[in-house]
Amino acid sequence: MSKIASGKIKKSSAKLLDEFNASIMFDKELYNEDIDGSIAHVKMLSKQKIISDKSKDKIIEGLNEIKKEVEEGKYKFSIKDEDIHMSIENRLTELIGDDAKRMHTARSRNDQVALDFRLFVLNKNREIVKLLFGLEKILLNIEKKHVDTLLPGMTHLQHAQPINFAYHLLAYSSMFKRDIERFESSIERNNVSPIGCAALAGTPYNTDREYESKLLGFKEVSINCLDTVSDRDFALELLFNISTMMMHISRLSEEIILWSSSEFGFVELSDEYSTSSSIMPQKKNPDVPELLRGKTGRVYGNLISLLTVLKGLPLAYNKDMQEDKEGVFDSVKTASISIKILAKTLESMTVKKENMQNATKKGHLSATDLADYLTKKCGYAFRNAYKITGEIVGYADDHNKDISELNLQELQSFEPKINNDVINVLKLENSMNARNSQGGTSKESTKKQITYFEKWIYPKS
């Protein structure tokens, strides 16, 4: 039986309704935010002389007691209380009696849940940003060691041009930086206090929303109460930002899976962060990156699910909105363990420099350099240079060589104007270093990018 007695509803609710309607099984996660919100609310009420100082003190004392009970595992969450807001209010009444009944003055569960959930989401944004900075630090450490580690840069998963491993990872540093910025900008935009909006239209009490907002650490007070109690954009943004971040994690995971295969052999995962097969004793499986790739699906699902819940809802609060929480809780948990384990997996994996280097000898990675050479040094139009290079590549293939391994005579048989200096041009390391344009893969440019990230991650050093 639900404990909210009402003028309209005389009979106690059906058991099935309690089970269907209740959110306490999952919104208990918001107990901390709910208690903090209530403490700020009663402080404001007493400052405004809406309740007495004595009532305020008793309420705060009771709320702190409840917090302790929850933290010590002594608190009883019951489906009969419907949600975390009623649960805490009912327990407070048991603990301190009638003063508890003054706590809900000038507010509604609609602004209360908007407050609790927003505080929760803002905090989770901050936690994720912290974890992402940890990941960025680990990437940076690996990058610093691998400016000289050549590997084939690919397009269409085909060998394209030589790059270095640091440069490759810097692409991910860039992605995670954008993610961090997205979480941060979401905090900026949504750092707005909903408390005091009451059910939908504000309140006739002489409240002080500014004061309450400051107590809770918000940047400002929301503008329109009708919007505030029905706004869940902050949760959607978190879900979208987590989805984008997981998409980045999933792309890196896919590469780790490929790299750790015997076909690539570019990295070896540590024993600690890989698993074995139950039947094939020789196997070492990349379960971690596979699961990271797989978990990306569920966070996309949570985003689409909340977008769908909110679509077409009339203003203001509708019970549909109770469906906003579980997906967010799930995505937040998934995001946080994913960032942590990705960082550990990267930190503990062995980079097989030699295998990367050897792989660059396949696929004529300096073919573009040869075409550029023919254009710059031998006076060909690029398209014609491209054609001759194609013929030379064909010759090299027929002779089981990479074009970087051809000698001068072989090259001159295609174009006599080719000079001894071509040998250096075709060297893979020189090919890489030739790409010295801003953001390019040359050693010099890669080092600049590392410095850029280092300054961003450690701003004071």
Q: Which residues are catalytic?
A: 156, 277
Q: How far apart are CA 128 and CA 354, in angstroms?
A: 35
Find the part of the chain contacting ligand ARG (CB under 6 A) among 10-18, 276-284, 292-300, 314-322: 314-322
Pairwise CA distance, residues 344 & 356, whole Å:
22
Q: Cα separation of 410 and 86, whole Å? A: 85
Q: What is the C-alpha separation between 131 and 234, in angstroms, rounded? A: 20
Describe the chain by its helix, strand, coil percentages, rounded to 5.
65, 5, 30
Q: Whole-number minimum distance, CB 18 to ligand ARG, in Å?
A: 13
**Residue 138 CB, nearest approach to ligand ARG (Å):** 37
Can residue 317 be called a binding residue for ligand ARG (CB under 6 A)? yes
User: Cβ of residue 13: shortest distance to ligand ARG, in angstroms?
Assistant: 13
- Who's near 140: CB < 8 A, 6+ residues apart? 173, 450, 453, 454, 457
Which of positions 108-137 make contact with ligand ARG (CB under 6 A)?
109-110, 113
User: Looking at beta carbons only, is 35 or 374 nearer to ligand ARG?
Assistant: 35
For ligand ARG, which stretch binds (CB under 6 A), given 122-130, 313-321, 383-391, 392-400? 313-321
Residue placing its CB nearer to ligand ARG in the complex, 76 or 319: 319
Residue 23 near ligand ARG by CB under 6 A: yes
Residue 443 CB, nearest approach to ligand ARG (Å): 55
Shortest CB 329 distance to ligand ARG, Å: 12
Q: Is 18 in the site for ligand ARG (CB under 6 A)?
A: no
83 or 179: CB nearest ligand ARG: 83
Which part of the chain contacts ligand ARG (CB under 6 A), choosing from 177-185, 202-210, 319-327, 428-436?
A: 319-327
Rule CB under 6 A: choose which of 2, 18, 27, 172 binds ligand ARG: 27
The answer to whether 91 contacts ligand ARG (rule: CB under 6 A) is no
Shortest gap between Cβ of 69 and ligand ARG (angstroms)?
A: 21
Cβ atoms of 87 and 100 within 8 Å: the answer is: no
How far are the Cα atoms of 336, 339, 361 from residue 134, in angstroms, in the given order? 12, 9, 35
Cα 339 from Cα 244, distance rounded (Å): 13
Of 427, 233, 243, 208, nearest in space to 332 by CA = 243
Nearer to ligand ARG by Cβ, of 4 and 304: the residue is: 4
Distance of closest approach, residue 308 Cβ to ligand ARG, in angstroms: 16
Which CA distances in Å does 427 have to 25, 150, 221? 64, 12, 62
With respect to ligand ARG, which residue has the nearer C-beta, 136 or 324? 324
Cβ proximity to ligand ARG: between 27 and 136 the closer is 27
Which one of 107-115, 239-247, 346-354, 366-374 is the stretch in contact with ligand ARG (CB under 6 A)?
107-115
Q: Please identify, using beta-carbon distances, which residue of 112 and 338 lies nearer to ligand ARG.
A: 112
For residue 268, the cross-strand partners are 350
Distance, C-alpha 33 to centroid of its chain: 23
Q: Which residues are bridge partners to 134 per DSSP?
A: none
Peptide bond into 316 cis (omega under 30): yes
CA distance 391 to 249: 40
Least Å from the CB of residue 360 to ligand ARG: 56
* Of 107 and 182, CB closest to ligand ARG: 107
**Total residues at the site for ligand ARG (CB under 6 A)?**
10
What x-and-dash track marks residues 169-198 binding ligand ARG by CB under 6 A?
------------------------------
The whole-angstrom separation of Cα 234 and Cα 238 is: 6
Residue 321 makes contact with ligand ARG by CB under 6 A? yes
Cα angle at 88 between 87 and 92, to 5 degrees? 120
In sequence order, what DSSP letters do the residues of 265-331 get, joined into one string?
Answer: --EE--GGG-B--SS-TT--B-HHHHHHHHHHHHHHHHHHHHHHHHTTPPSS--GGGGGGHHHHHHH
* Amino acid making up residue 222: S
- Would you give the DSSP letter of residue 210? H
Decide whether 110 or 345 has the Cβ nearer to ligand ARG: 110
The nearest distance, CB 2 to ligand ARG, in angstroms, is: 11
Options 36, 83, 143, 208; binder of ligand ARG; rule CB under 6 A: 83
Which of the residues 40 through 69 are near ligand ARG (CB under 6 A)? none
Q: Which stretch binds ligand ARG (CB under 6 A): 106-114, 122-130, 288-296, 371-379?
A: 106-114
Binding site for ligand ARG (CB under 6 A): 23, 27, 83, 109-110, 113, 317, 319, 321-322
